[in-house]
Structure 1
Amino acid sequence: MRKVLVVDDSLCTRKLLSMMLKCHGFTTGEAEDGLDALEKLGTMKVDLVIVEREMPNMDGLSFVKSVRNSFHLLNMPVVMVTDRVGEGFENDALRAGADLILAKPVAAAALISGIEGVLRGRDGQ
């Protein structure tokens, strides 16, 4: 079973995304910001991270850059969710190393399809 770490400062959003994932056979972990996520990635094995763009302590872009600069996390698939699609943000997120950007509110079908596509791409299928 694949495990996804859901990173968002909103408890409601974390629970909603986790519920969507669990309904489709994923297991989940949760973190409230980028710093919390990096700490959890040091002890938790996950297959993919979903991260919100705007959070306190460490935002999504800074988190993605940290992941891409960490040898043991370099190849970790990262999906970014945001309500600020456009404004050049998508290019910034992709340049930082995000594998996929999804606009909030995220429909379950788009979330699952996007995650499965990223995981297939990383698995070389």
Structure 2
Amino acid sequence: MSKTVITAIAGLGLTAGLLGSAGVPAGARVGETAATMAAPKPPKGARAVVRVGPNPTTKRGQEVTITGHCGGGKGLRAVFAGIDRKRPVLENIRIIDDNPQGFVAKATLRATIGNGVGPVFVDCGGEAGVTLLVTHV
């Protein structure tokens, strides 16, 4: 992925995360709630679902588990965390199970990370996904 694409995806993910954390679904109109508004299906190529636990993280060097499904993709190929590959949020990323119906990976939080929010991307061979990891160290 190019730096421009990663930056665009991170910006969209951050905006969606901030709107979702405020209790207002992205794209909601005045008077609508999550219960009255159907969630649109993600576009082809962005249907993988990814979760990180624990989230938020609380210790530098803490191990996290990355789980999810590939949304029609071929299987978990890679996990990226952060926007700058020279200073990733996670290190020692290991794919434990690449099953497209339920993948598992493990990683550790960098020892030099501070408080903040960073994206975690997955590449599922045809489908991609992103979530936000919150750090309180």
Fold conserved between structures, TM > 0.5:
no
Larger radius of gyration: 2
Larger helix share, 1 or 2: 1
Higher RCO structure, 1 or 2 (CA under 8 Å, sep 6+)? 2
